[in-house]
Structure 1
Amino acid sequence: MRKSLLVFAAVVLVASLSAHAQNTGNIRYKWYDGQGLMHFSDSLTADAMKYGYDLVNDHGLVVQHVPRQLNAEERAAANKLAAEQAAKQRAAQEIANAETQMLAAYPDEESYKISQQQALDTIDQQIHTTQINLRSQEKALTDLLARAADMENAKTPVPKFLVDNIAQQRGIVTAQRSALQRQQALRVQTVQQQAKQLAHYRELKAAQAQPTE
């Protein structure tokens, strides 16, 4: 029985080696030049490497294809594309990590809404503080203008320091009003963004709840 198995193994090995020899044979090189003309060679040539070549066995079968060499400009473009793709992959991985952390930090929608409201509360507090400061600065400007008006009514020249103070105070009021507008715009933008974030959160939770096969 053992002798039969050894004979069978030897036959299989011989058949395998024979098939390998038929599939490979003596390798030649085939390539097409810039005019599309086909060339064969027993050795690898510079033109073959320039245009790319096929490894061909004795039966004319292509064993392997080797693409042409890239020039400096093409290599630079290929490296740039590879870098861009790697950057996209890193960005996608960072987003996935952030989403995983978000779901871990806020296991339910109520906790997520609370975090969003806290962000709005912070902006609202900033707006409230700016409004108080603005009213105070506007009152100071009104007082300065009233002093200047009283002097003009009394036919008294308005001193330069008062004129300068009025100009300075106008600048402060203008800056406070601009700050208030930016904060109010930020709140509107935050509300819109939070609506999108909540919708995305719900999508992630729905996907998380689906059974895995």
Structure 2
Amino acid sequence: MRKPLLVIAAVVLVASLSAHAQNTGNIRYKWYDGQGLMHFSDSLTAEAMKYGYDLVNDRGLVVQHVPRQLTAAERAAANKLAAEQAAKQRAAQERANADTQMLAAYPDEESYQISLQQTLDTIDQQIHTTQINLRSQEKALTDLLGRAADLENAKSPVPKFLVDSIAQQRNVVAALRNTLRRQQALHAQTVQEQVGQLAHYRELKAAQEQPAE
């Protein structure tokens, strides 16, 4: 029983291979060159791959289209565009996730405004701390300058350690003043950003509360 089955399988395999070879042999390649002229070939040529080509059967029907090969510059541009689009999609998805989390964390506008105010309160506390430190360091600098002035009025030389201390203290005061300016600028920027954040929250809540159609 097994021998006839093997014979039948072999006959089917040979017939399948013959049909595939016949169909493949009937395939031709059609393409258009840079001047728009049509070309046919029984084999795939470099020019066909350059411009893109169609696989045509023995009845003249296109069975597959293969686009032209991209240049290195075109591939780089396509990869860059794909990366930019993927980045935009990721950013949009991250924003959507953040919006969902925000609505879940702050179910009403009052709770959201409390959160915004807490951010400002933190910055205000930092500003207040810097201001206290600055006043203390400014007083220390004033004391050092006063000591130096007293020596100069007494026609006595100002010792090097006092000159160095004054220079160091001036640097401390300058650094604190810069820190205070940055914190105050951050406060003003945060206030502006929160205006937009609150408007965005209200848009999300309006869309959430809109009845589904």
Q: Give TM-score scaled by structure 2 length.
A: 0.80
1:141 is aligned to 2:138: no
Partner of 2:199, secondary structure, is helix
1:107 is aligned to 2:107: yes
Q: Once structures 1 and 2 are overlaid, which stretch shifts more, 53-62 or 76-85?
A: 53-62
The residue number in structure 1 matching 2:211 is: 211
The CA deviation at 1:46 is 3.3
CA distance in 2, matches of 1:136, 1:210: 56
Partner of 1:211, secondary structure, is coil
The residue number in structure 2 matching 1:9 is: none
CA distance in 1, matches of 2:44, 2:168: 82
The CA deviation at 1:134 is 0.6
The residue number in structure 2 matching 1:7 is: none
Unaligned ranges ≥5, structure 1: 1-25
Partner of 1:31, secondary structure, is strand
The CA deviation at 1:36 is 1.8
In structure 2, do the counterparts of structure 1 residues 212 and 64 end up closer, same or farther at CA, with 3 Å as the change threshold?
A: farther
Partner of 2:29, secondary structure, is strand
The CA deviation at 1:93 is 0.9
The residue number in structure 1 matching 2:96 is: 96
The residue number in structure 2 matching 1:167 is: 167
The residue number in structure 1 matching 2:48 is: 48
Q: Once structures 1 and 2 are overlaid, which stretch shifts more, 28-37 or 192-201?
A: 28-37
The residue number in structure 2 matching 1:186 is: 186
Cα RMSD after superposing both structures? 1.9
CA distance in 1, matches of 2:45, 2:147: 96
The CA deviation at 1:80 is 2.4
Q: Once structures 1 and 2 are overlaid, which stretch shifts more, 52-61 or 128-137?
A: 52-61
The residue number in structure 1 matching 2:19 is: none
The CA deviation at 1:184 is 0.7
CA distance in 1, matches of 2:44, 2:152: 100
Partner of 1:201, secondary structure, is helix
The CA deviation at 1:56 is 4.2
Deviation readout 1:22-57 (Å, 9 max, x if unpaired): xxxx65432111222111234443322221123445
CA distance in 2, matches of 1:205, 1:28: 61
Identity of matched residues, %: 86
Q: Once structures 1 and 2 are overlaid, which stretch shifts more, 151-160 or 57-66?
A: 57-66
Deviation readout 1:97-141 (Å, 9 max, x if unpaired): 111111111111111100000000000000010111011011111
Q: Give TM-score scaled by structure 1 length.
A: 0.80
The CA deviation at 1:171 is 1.0
Partner of 1:40, secondary structure, is strand
